[in-house]
Amino acid sequence: MRVLVKTLMLEGLKVIEVDVEIAVVRSAIPVHNIVGLASKEVKESFERIRAAFESAGLKLPAGKITVNLSPADIVKRDTGFDLAIAVGLMIALGSVRREIIKDGFVVGEIGLDGEVKAPRGLVLFAKYALLQGKTLICRPIGLLELFKGLNIQPVYSINSLMDKTKVIEMPGSILEVSEKNNFNIDYVLLNEEEKLLVKLLAAWDVNALFIGPPGRGKSFIANLIAWLKAPLTYEKYLEVIGIYEYAGERRVSREVPVRSPHFTLSYSAMFGGGDGMQPGEVSLAHNGVLIMDEFPEFPRRIVEGLRQPLVEGKVLVSRASKKVEFPAKFQLLATMNPCPCGEFGYGFCSCSFREVRGYLNRVSRAVLDRIPVVYNVEGRGRKVVKVSDFKNEVEELAKIEVPASMEILKRKLNLKDLQFLYELFEKRGISLRKAVQYFRVIYMLRVLRTEDELIKSLFLEHFDYVDRLRLMMRKKGGKRIALLE
Ligand SMILES: [Zn+2]
């Protein structure tokens, strides 16, 4: 007898369909075999199933049982195949109707007592099943209620499989719990430029670096921007809770995720991996904001490692000999001092040239190329601003789509702005990658009805400020100091 059960597995955070084919052949000697690149824990599932069956008063089918997992070229790990194999065996035994697996994916682990458990990544499976219009046969968890229209066939134990169960349609209710950001403020001190940038960066996902001496509010501005961001769309929200559930963290808030890793964290904590294939900070910040305070203090490897997610919106993590993909599309908001003492270019700097150069060079040009907004936080001319009023404005602005293509942007910008940018590119030798971002930023500034003077001052006095500090150092040193790269 042959039974085919469909199940799901994860490679990184990517959902893959797996066929579990079970063949039972008459044989005097009972033999069990799992083929199709099954890992040790998958091979052991027979032992868990045997014990679970016993507790439910069942016995494994007599004869030779072969379980084939396909596609055959992917290593099957984890214990999430238990339920699919058990259901297949129960169909072979005639104790479960075959209809139960029609148009459905069976996912779950089984305890020795016969209890069915939700597998890691169940929320990601739910999203996949919903998109495919298939039923999910699993032990339900509360988060699945968020998936409007998803069909669930609940299974709690081996025994409950034998009862007649109904398919339930999920209501898509938004859980009203909101983990309140502990950053709730009404009034802050900001100057005109800061006000403008706060709105721009809160409305659109543009990467930014705030540079300046300690105590001028760099980190505060970064957190303020994150706080002002519009809530996640339903689609992005489901993605985020899927990642968090996989990481073993419960998250129900519609606010964008904000991560602020400390510079002492490890490479795998930042980018993901390790024994448990945990998503790193860059993936936990997916669809949200990654705040990196004291940017040059992060190990060089970590700063350079940001290049891939900043361009591609994903990160590749090594697993055994293979690379798996984790989503990592975030807005980077970094802060830094201009030198180790924090005063270079502002006040009395007690560092040597060597120290200043080393410090500034820790943020390479390749990384700066992906950060269009560099703002020199001096904190001059600040006035009291009611920022809680920004929330609605930001939410409206966020709905305005900013073109990503250079061609479209060129058509949309006025001649004066184009002329201004081209002159700037020529003067500073700006890369094409950065040029596109500048086109987008100037477009956003126009959406915000920014005056010409302010636009000029931002582009000429602020953006590329790290390069200007390097230049300043070169002049002060009275000799040429080789720039990095
Ligand atoms: Zn200094």
The whole-number pLDDT of residue 168 equals: 86
Closest by CA to 179, choosing from 261, 240, 265, is 240
Domain with CATH 3.40.50.300 in the chain: 187-400+451-477
> CB of 368 within 8 A of CB of 466?
yes
> CB of 361 within 8 A of CB of 481?
no
Distance of CA 198 from the midpoint of ligand 1 (Å): 27
Distance of CA 439 to the CA centre of its chain: 26
> CB of 189 within 8 A of CB of 388?
no
The whole-number pLDDT of residue 41 equals: 80
- Summarize the confidence of residues 206-228 as an average pLDDT: 94
What span, in angstroms and rounded, lies between the C-alpha atoms of 241 and 135? 20
pLDDT band at 430 (very low <50, low <70, confident <90, very high): confident
DSSP codes of every residue in 210-273: EE-STTSSHHHHHHHHHHHSPPPPHHHHHHHHHHHHHTT------SPPEE---TT--HHHHH-B
The whole-number pLDDT of residue 477 equals: 55
- Summarize the confidence of residues 190-204 as an average pLDDT: 95
Closest by CA to 423, choosing from 408, 399, 442, is 442
Domain with CATH 3.30.230.10 in the chain: 2-169
The whole-number pLDDT of residue 292 equals: 97
Distance of CA 288 from the midpoint of ligand 1 (Å): 33
What span, in angstroms and rounded, lies between the C-alpha atoms of 346 and 186? 30
Distance of CA 358 from the midpoint of ligand 1 (Å): 11
The whole-number pLDDT of residue 481 equals: 39
Residues 6+ apart with CB under 8 A from 389: none
Of 8-17, 157-166, 213-222, give the lowest mean pLDDT range: 157-166
What fold characterizes domain 2-169? Ribosomal Protein S5; domain 2 (3.30.230)
What fold characterizes domain 187-400+451-477? Rossmann fold (3.40.50)
Distance of CA 254 from the midpoint of ligand 1 (Å): 42
The whole-number pLDDT of residue 169 equals: 86
The whole-number pLDDT of residue 252 equals: 82
Distance of CA 296 from the midpoint of ligand 1 (Å): 14
Distance of CA 339 from the midpoint of ligand 1 (Å): 5
pTM: 0.88
List, for residues 48-82, the tens digit of each pLDDT value: 999 999 998 888 888 899 999 989 888 887 778 89
Of 30-39, 215-224, 289-298, 451-460, give the lowest mean pLDDT range: 30-39
